[in-house]
Amino acid sequence: MKDAEAIRQGAEIIRGGGIVAFPTETVYGLGADAYNPLAVARIFEVKRRPYFDPLIVHIAYPAHLKKLVKKIPSSAKKLTEKLWPGPLTVVLLKEENIPDIVTAGLPSIAVRMPDHPMALSLIKESKCPIAAPSANPFGYLSPTTAEHVQDQLGDQVDLILDGGPCPVGVESTIVSFSENKPRLLRPGGVSLEEIEAMIGKVEISPIKDRPSAPGMLPRHYAPRTPIVLDWDEKHLDSYKDKKIGFLAFQEPENFLKFEHIEVLSKKGDFREAAANLFSAIRRLDALHLDLILAEAVPEAGLGRAIMDRLRRATSKEE
């Protein structure tokens, strides 16, 4: 099927109250008409996502933001003007007619304009904003290829649009403007440094204290194989009878006795590492290893989003 024909079919499904998986620049989303509460409810069922975890609403024109929210503070306006389309989600006070199921009953709504031609065409042809979480079962890694979606949710969605691998590879950065000061709710595809250069200081919510983002549970993005991040080479001996995989940021210097090694970016480039992160973890997870050791990356730029996902993947809390 040609892309244009697939998108036309996807838009027809969305308009008819169905659900469609589609590529964005960050990860694949699972979308429904944001104004159709029954269609949105199917997303929660298919993902087994708790209803307290609100969705992001995707738009195709920056001007549509004002239809969804009460007011746009100047710093939010500045950010969206500079960074949309792109991996930035803004949380603002919502307009009354947004169904409660989309926002989990919160007074605020999360909105973004994705930077992917297929996503933008799908939204335009559907003629409605599309509410979409990442297209994975709740708590698991986000999909960055159409095959990832097919493997996990394939028979439960009405259509999967295939746009190849997602170029950014980690989810959007979420900034909330629903309090007095802008607050980073989730590090992601745009770095905090870039955002602060545009609007000044942004508050940061620590992982375990995110009252305004119910979906930010400590354990998330988790593969089935345990991942360990805070390991020490001195202790590798104690793992010697185990099948161990290694998730390396750069080419490792000593190859020890790992069963399998995934290198995120040979030259240590954050962008390349983020784009490879979820696929690499999935490949390791498929090998039935006892353990995955992950290498920490520096916490600057996109490194912050990579470390956030790794910490959630390793957290033992449910």
Binding site for ligand TXA (CB under 6 A): 24, 26-27, 29, 53-56, 87, 89, 91, 103, 106, 108-110, 112, 114, 132-134, 171-172, 174, 176, 185, 212-216
Q: Given the complex with ligand TXA, which of 138 and 239 has the nearer CB atom?
A: 138
Beta bridge partners of 134: 29
The least CB distance from residue 134 to ligand TXA, in Å, is: 4
89, 134, 144, 279: residue in contact with Mg ion (rule CB under 5 A): 134
For 132-155, letters b (16+ CB in 10 Å) and e give: bbbbbebbbbbbbbbebbbebbee
d(CA 96, CA 107): 9
Q: Choose the one of Mg ion, ligand TXA, none that binds residue 212, judging by a C-beta under 5 to 8 angstroms depending on kind.
A: ligand TXA
Q: Which residue has its beta carbon closest to Mg ion?
A: 134
Q: 288: how many CB neighbours lie within 10 A of its CB? A: 10
**What separation in angstroms does the CA of 66 have from each of 3, 80, 106, 248?**
30, 12, 18, 43
Position with the least CB separation from ligand TXA: 215
Quick one: which segment of 69-77, 129-137, 200-208, 308-316 binds Mg ion (CB under 5 A)?
A: 129-137
Contact status: 108 vs Mg ion (CB under 5 A): no
Among candidates 269, 279, 278, 277, which has minimal Cα distance to 300? 269
Beta strands in the chain (DSSP E): 20-22, 29-33, 56-58, 88-93, 108-112, 130-132, 159-160, 173-176, 183-186, 203-204, 227-228, 244-248, 260-263, 291-294
- Residue (134 or 172) nearer to Mg ion, CB: 134
Site string for Mg ion, 61-90 (x = CB under 5 A): ------------------------------
Least distance (Å) between residue 197 CB and Mg ion: 27
Q: Would you say 75 or 134 has its CB closer to Mg ion?
A: 134
Cβ contact 115:86 at 8 Å: yes
Q: How far is the CB of 139 from Mg ion (least distance, A)?
A: 9
Task: State in angstroms the smallest separation of the CB of 137 from Mg ion.
Answer: 10
Which chain residues interact with Mg ion by CB under 5 A?
134
